[in-house]
């Protein structure tokens, strides 16, 4: 059985991680869509880093839910499996999805990368976290500098150890291109043929490439399933062969068990 799963923010929301477009997504009354941009970072890197530090801490405190566990179970039993997630958190990985079976198409919030060169810190965000005192101290390979616009407003920003430019979160911001290597992994999967099952779960399918990948993985004329799991209608709904109008954590365990039973070798 060949399976493609595409997940969005609705999956992580059930672990307590706010979505960008939901009413709980605002931070300090600021629209996150206006913080997750290169322009916002250039204008106020301190503010953007404060937001990402809080997001990282919230993710660290969250736990994978039943949807994450069900997808991991499906990955274990499929002959060929690929998860393409728009989520930048590590909940799919903590649920047991191996790196080689997962594409984080919007990046990884726990990666810190240079805003100028190719340097990456692939730890769990250690470099840019504030030190225990207010002095600038080295952490891992990156460096922190204390800057104090006012005496009440001191922040430590990470700088690249290779070129001395500001480091930034390793995510894809609005207006930026998707990572080429990850795109190639998706294309390589699609080029190998149609999927028996495509599941699109917890995403509004706002980005056209999500709809495109789902449709290309289950082309017309090939027997297969295109299942959408979402409480609300999306741009993909009209193409789905099965609509599951329940939250992911409720729907996925039963759905995965049904799929595995239907495709079990006699």
Q: Could you tell me which residues are beta bridge partners of residue 82?
A: 4
Sign, Cα dihedral of 48, 51, 56, 62: negative
Locate 161 and state its tokens.
């150890």
> Is 106 labeled as catalytic in the residue annotation?
yes
- DSSP secondary structure letter of residue 172: P
Cβ 244 vs Cβ 250: under 8 Å: no
Q: Which H helix or E strand runs over 143?
A: strand 142-150
Residue 34 CA, distance from chain mean position: 18
Catalytic site residue from 68, 106, 254, 263: 106
173: which DSSP letter?
P
Give the residue numbers annotated as catalytic, written as ranges: 106
């Amino acid at each position: 059985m060949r399976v493609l799963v595409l997940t969005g923010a609705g999956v992580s929301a059930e672990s307590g991680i706010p979505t960008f477009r939901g009413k709980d997504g605002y931070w300090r009354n600021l629209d996150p869509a206006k913080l997750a941009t290169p322009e916002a970072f250039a204008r106020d890197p301190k503010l953007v880093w404060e937001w990402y530090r809080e997001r990282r801490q919230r993710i660290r405190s969250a736990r994978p839910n039943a949807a994450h566990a069900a997808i991991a179970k499906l990955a274990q039993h499929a002959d060929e499996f690929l998860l393409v997630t728009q989520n930048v958190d590590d909940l799919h990985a903590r649920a047991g999805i191996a790196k080689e079976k997962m594409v984080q198409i919007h990046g990884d919030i726990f990666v810190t990368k240079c805003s100028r060169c190719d340097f990456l810190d692939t730890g769990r965000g250690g470099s840019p976290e504030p030190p225990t005192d207010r002095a600038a101290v080295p952490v891992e390979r990156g460096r922190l500098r204390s800057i104090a616009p006012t005496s009440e407003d001191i922040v430590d920003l990470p700088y690249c150890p290779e070129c001395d430019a500001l480091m930034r979160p390793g995510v894809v911001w609005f207006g930026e291109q998707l990572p080429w290597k990850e795109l190639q992994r998706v294309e390589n999967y699609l080029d190998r043929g149609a999927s028996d099952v495509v599941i699109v779960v917890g995403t509004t399918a706002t980005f056209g490439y999500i709809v495109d990948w789902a449709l290309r993985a289950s082309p017309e004329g090939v027997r297969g399933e295109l299942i959408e799991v979402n409480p609300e209608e999306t741009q993909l709904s009209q193409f789905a062969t099965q609509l599951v109008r329940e939250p992911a954590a409720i729907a996925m365990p039963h759905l995965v068990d049904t799929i595995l039973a239907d495709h079990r070798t006699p």
